[in-house]
A and B are shown apart, each in its own frame.
Chain A
Amino acid sequence: MLIAAGSADAALAFIEIGALILGLAVLSRAAGRFGLPAIPLYLLAGLALGEGGVLQLDVSLEFFEIAAEIGVLLLLFALGLEYSESELREGLRTGTKPGLLDMALNATPGVVLGLILGWDPLAAVLLGGVTWISSSGVISKVLSDLGRLGFRETPAVLNLLVIEDLAMAVYLPVVAALIVGGSATATAVSVAVALAAVSLILLAALRHGRRFSDLVAGGSDETFLLTVFGITLLVAGVAQRLEVSGAIGAFLVGLALSGKTEIRANQLISPLRHLFAATFFLFFSFQIDPADIVGVALPAIGLAVVTVVTKLFTGWYAAGRVGAAPRGRLRAGTVLMARGEFSIVIAALGASLADGPELGALAAGYVLITAIVGPLAAKFSDQIPLPARLQRRRVVPAPAET
């Protein structure tokens, strides 16, 4: 359609899109240099360039709008994809307690702040989601960059991410149905439908995931990529039509894939996801007026301070359960602090609410802080002094004499 619109328009669109994406590349490189995630930089770029900012997009706005939507779908598809059935089962078995503590400690501050700000309860619940879920993308990257995958506390951290993932499988469809709203009965019906669909798919994925995966699998990389991408968009579109929210549709497709197919889908989709998700972060803060961010700066900072401490405690508790010493428990707590892609996705879900713009601005400011503080705290956690009574060494079993 762009090409058909005349070569002058097409040329302008290419220049705009190319320049913006190249700009994102520069930011991503800069972030990598400092060992930080790129998300906060993308958000800052969007703020600087977008509404009320310095740049006005002309012809490529439409492209970025749709690319950002696809970015959300692929992020949620990847969230559904991330863990295999056995990992989910194992997570449920061992991680329920830390998971519940995680929710109670980290969702509550967001909900409370939303209510204090006089928001609609639904917007407050969304803010609770924003503060609840840690960024699995940022955290797994930090763990692997710092070479901490083998550390004793790491399974506790990863299991917590699995539980959050599972919790999102319930949370997202319910809030999405509530946002669509309508009469009380209509809302109740759509919540019930969403929950039923999720439990059905989860059950099917746990029991018969292999069969669905086998159906999709096979063929060349090209065939497979087109199949998975096509199914994801198609299901998301149908879900949107049925007023369930397209993002949930994509999430469910990810959940239903398992085994080898899942690993392959992850490898093939991840370049696409990088491209579209970066666009999404940019476009999300594009729509935020920088003046709004200044307005919510205080609540965002306060919320970040409180939830950084609550996450620290969550990680401390979870790592203690797997037998980590205080040093390791501190590392687990700090690495979990980062919020990222899913907090932004949750805030984007609420964009249509009356408090949506404020929610978006607050979430952007909040993620900006935690996505920078979290990885830095994780990096320097071994330098944080511990109270003397916690510094005792654990007894290591003496080597057997031979």
Chain B
Amino acid sequence: MADVRETKLPGVGVRHEFTTDDGRVIGVLVHHDGRREILVYDSDDPDACSSVVGLSANDTRTVTELLGASRVTEAVAAVQQEIEGLAIEWIELTPSSPASGATIGDGMYRTRTGSSIVAVIRDGQSIPAPGPEFGLLSGDVVVGVGTSEGLAMMRELIRR
């Protein structure tokens, strides 16, 4: 991670900034009242900001979400855009789920529902394209792709 520099602004808040791999400087100013501003420093005058965008608490969540989004979401979202009628669903395994402790092959999901498990998210890490020998654990989030009816059946099998 890049070095993040912190500067206190009396009466205003705290500013954090860092230099990107491209050599640009960007920062975030957090006001005492919780408002945030994204600062993009000018490449000609490195003391000045070429643009400043104010963010409400709600906007901040959105930006965090966008920047932190997993790659699987991006990839699957792209697929969804191309094929009409195809749906994606995120299904979390509860401790009581019959699927936990079993492999994907054991569940025979494709045969029974026509939908495929294209990824598993475990501890925040995404595991793309798991094979039939892949063992599911409670707390995993299964990413399924198929028709909405098929996905409803898959949810039924996993969450029951």
A interface, CB within 8 angstroms of B? 82-83, 87, 90-91, 136, 140, 147-155, 158-159, 161-162, 263, 267, 324-325, 327-328, 331, 382, 393-394, 396-400, 402
If A149-B37, A402-B21 touch, whether A396 touches B11 (CB-CB below 8 Å) is: no
B23 interface hit (Cβ, 8 Å): yes
Extra contacts besides A154-B9, A155-B7, A155-B8 (19): CB < 8 Å: A82-B11, A87-B11, A91-B10, A140-B11, A147-B52, A149-B15, A150-B17, A150-B49, A155-B9, A267-B33, A324-B47, A325-B47, A327-B48, A328-B45, A396-B23, A397-B19, A399-B20, A399-B21, A402-B21
Nearest chain A CB to B20 CB, angstrom units = 8
Q: With an 8 A cutoff between CB atoms, is B22 at the interface?
A: yes
A-chain residues with CB within 8 Å of residue B19 when the two chains form the complex: 397, 399
Given known pairs A162-B10, A327-B45, the reply for A150 and B52 (CB within 8 Å) is yes
Q: Does B131 contact A (CB under 8 A)?
A: no
With A150-B39, A151-B47, A327-B45 given, is the CB distance from A87 to B10 under 8 Å?
Answer: yes
**B98 contacts partner chain A, Cβ-Cβ < 8 Å:** no
Which residues of A sit under 8 angstroms from B37, Cβ to Cβ? 149-150
Q: Is B29 an interface residue (CB 8 A)?
A: yes
Residues of A within 8 A of B20 (CB): 399
| Chain A minimum-CB-distance residue to B17 | A150
B11 near A136 (CB under 8 angstroms)?
yes
Say yes or no: A151 contacts B32, CB within 8 Å: no
Please determine whether A263 and B9 come into contact, CB atoms closer than 8 angstroms: no
| Distance from B140 Cβ to chain A, minimum over Cβ atoms (Å) | 34
Nearest CB of chain A from residue B43's CB, rounded to whole Å: 8
- A residues within 8 A CB of B23? 396-399
Complex partner residue of A399 from B7, B10, B22, CB under 8 angstroms:
B22
Q: How far is B41's CA from A105's CA once the two chains are assembled, in angstroms?
A: 32
Per the CB 8 Å criterion, the residue count for chain B at the interface is: 27
B29 CB to nearest A CB, Å: 5
Residues on A with C-beta less than 8 A from B32 are 263
Which residue of chain B lies nearest to A262 when distances are taken between CB atoms in the complex? B32
Within residues 118 to 151 of chain B, which ones have a CB less than 8 A from any CB in chain A?
none
A151-B12 in contact (CB<8A): no
B46 within 8 Å of A (CB atoms): yes
**Contact between B29 and A394, CB atoms less than 8 A apart:** no
Q: State the CA gap A397–B46 with chains docked (Å).
A: 11
Of residues 17 through 55 on chain B, the ones whose CB sits less than 8 Å from some CB of chain A are 17, 19-23, 27, 29, 32-33, 37, 39, 41, 44-49, 52
Please report the C-alpha to C-alpha distance between residue A396 and residue B20 in the assembled complex, in whole angstroms: 12
Known: A400-B21, A402-B21. A147 touches B49 (CB 8 A): yes
CA distance A393 to B44 in the complex (A): 8
B52 contacts across to A, CB distance below 8 A: 147, 149-150
Chain A neighbourhood of B15, CB < 8 A: 149-150, 155
A313 to B47, CA, bound (A): 18
The residue in B15, B27, B45 that gathers the most chain A C-beta atoms within 10 A of its C-beta is: B45
What are 20 inter-chain pairs, A to B, with CB distance below 8 A?
Answer: A87-B8, A140-B12, A147-B49, A147-B52, A148-B49, A149-B9, A149-B12, A150-B37, A150-B39, A152-B48, A155-B9, A158-B12, A162-B10, A263-B33, A325-B45, A325-B47, A393-B44, A398-B23, A399-B22, A402-B21
Whether the pair A152, B21 counts as a contact (CB closer than 8 A) is: no
Contacts of B33 in A (CB 8 A): 263, 267
| Complex alpha-carbon distance, A162 and B8, angstroms | 12
Determine which of A83, A90, A162, A328 lies in contact with B48 in the assembled complex, contact meaning CB atoms within 8 Å.
Answer: A328
Residues of A near B9 (CB, < 8 A) are 149, 154-155, 158
Per the bound structure, the CA–CA distance linking A140 and B13 in Å amounts to 12
| Closest chain B residue, CB of each to CB of A401 | B21
For A151, the chain B residues whose CB sits under 8 A away are: 47-49
